[in-house]
């Protein structure tokens, strides 16, 4: 008997439930929201505040005001990043973005989509739900086993990452709550929490979405980098003192998270 069968699992088609969940957000064309994120650990608390405008087709405008003043603008072809502290900006075509950043660019604000993209083609196991969930599925992602837990309305309320399919060694957990349903079956969570252990510290990150407007008109000038970055020189490598330095000079460092 396998470890999975001991947990009461049965197999499902590759990516069936995850693909269904991702497709539920196709009715959302545009989102505008204020986003506040607070990260707490033994070392203290850090807060960030941003305004986000998202439109399907790779269009994005993020304006951070705390703690780092910056703009991130994607015009559907290239992504532009500029802080107030640096004289030059960073630019990369969407085709060149790494999967993590591409997932963030495609992510509908308030949705869990960026966490689901890596799971879309994986075999799924139907699990016995726990911790108040009504249903659950799991899948193996490299050396990690990922469990998606749903409530009785079919809303994704948790994504938990374990070291093994025995559901031992919890690495990290995303929690979603305070839902809105802007169109049938598309649930946006106004509160996202992430709990993880990093370098011996327990870290809780809470993101709150407010003033959210869905499928409302957005002025197209928001997605025109030239309007916000006149006379700015852009390079294809990020220079940002707020980001950890990259030990490999031949590999560009990751961009910060959106927003």
Q: Would you say residue 59 lies in a domain?
A: yes
243 falls within a domain: no
- CB neighbours (10 Å) of residue 127? 21
Q: For residue range 151-207, what is the model confidence (pLDDT) as tens digits?
A: 999 999 999 999 999 999 999 999 999 999 999 999 999 999 999 987 778 899 999
Query: Would you say residue 5 has pLDDT above 50?
Result: no
CATH label of the domain that carries residue 210? 2.50.20.10
Q: In this structure, is residue 45 part of a structural domain? A: yes
Evaluate whether residue 126 is within a structural domain. yes
Q: How confident is the model at residue 12 (pLDDT cuts 50, 70, 90)?
A: low
pLDDT of residue 198: 75
pLDDT reported for residue 199? 75
Residue 259 lies in a domain: no
Mean pLDDT of 76-80: 96
| For range 237-257, the mean pLDDT | 43
**Per-residue confidence (pLDDT) for residue 10, from 0 to 100:** 60
User: What number of other Cβ atoms are within 10 A of residue 124's Cβ?
Assistant: 23
Whether the per-residue pLDDT at 21 is higher than 60: the answer is yes
| pLDDT average, residue stretch 80-100 | 92
How many domains does the chain contain in total?
A: 1
C-alpha to C-alpha distance for 176 and 147, rounded to whole angstroms: 14
Is the residue at 157 inside a domain? yes
Q: According to the model, what pLDDT value does residue 131 have? A: 95
Instruction: Look at the chain and count its residues.
Output: 259
Residue 227 lies in a domain: yes
Structural domain boundaries enclosing 45: 3-235
Among 14-23, 133-142, 221-230, where is mean pLDDT lowest?
Answer: 14-23
Q: Give the model's confidence band at 4: pLDDT under 50 very low, under 70 low, under 90 confident, else very high.
A: very low
pLDDT digits (tens, 9 = 90+) for 30-62: 999 999 999 998 888 999 999 999 999 999 999
pLDDT category, 142, cuts 50, 70, 90? Answer: very high
Q: Provide the whole-model pTM.
A: 0.87
> What pLDDT sits at residue 200?
77
Greatest extent of the chain over all pairs of C-alpha atoms, in Å: 66
117 in a structural domain? yes
């Amino acid at each position: 008997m396998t470890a999975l069968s001991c947990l009461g699992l049965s197999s499902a088609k590759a990516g069936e439930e995850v693909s269904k969940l991702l497709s539920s957000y196709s009715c959302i064309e545009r989102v505008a929201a204020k986003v506040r994120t607070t990260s707490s650990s033994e070392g203290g608390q850090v807060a960030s505040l941003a305004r986000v405008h998202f439109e399907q087709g790779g269009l994005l405008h993020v304006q951070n005001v705390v703690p780092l003043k910056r703009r991130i603008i994607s015009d559907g072809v290239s992504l532009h990043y500029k802080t107030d502290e640096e004289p030059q900006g960073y630019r990369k075509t969407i085709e060149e973005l790494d999967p993590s950043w591409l997932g963030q660019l495609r992510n509908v604000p308030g949705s869990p989509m960026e966490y689901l993209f890596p799971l879309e083609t994986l075999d799924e196991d139907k699990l016995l739900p726990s911790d108040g969930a009504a249903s659950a599925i799991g899948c193996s992602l490299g050396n990690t086993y990922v469990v998606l837990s749903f409530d009785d309305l079919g809303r994704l309320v948790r994504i938990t990452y374990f070291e093994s399919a025995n559901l031992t060694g919890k690495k990290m957990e995303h929690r979603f709550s305070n839902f809105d349903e802007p169109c049938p079956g598309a649930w946006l969570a106004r509160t996202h929490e992430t709990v993880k252990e990093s370098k011996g510290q327990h870290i809780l990150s809470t993101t709150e979405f407010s003033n959210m407007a869905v499928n409302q008109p957005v002025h197209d000038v928001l997605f025109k980098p030239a309007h916000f970055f006149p006379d700015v020189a852009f390079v294809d490598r990020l220079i940002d003192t707020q980001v950890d330095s990259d030990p490999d000079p031949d590999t560009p460092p990751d961009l910060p998270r959106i927003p």
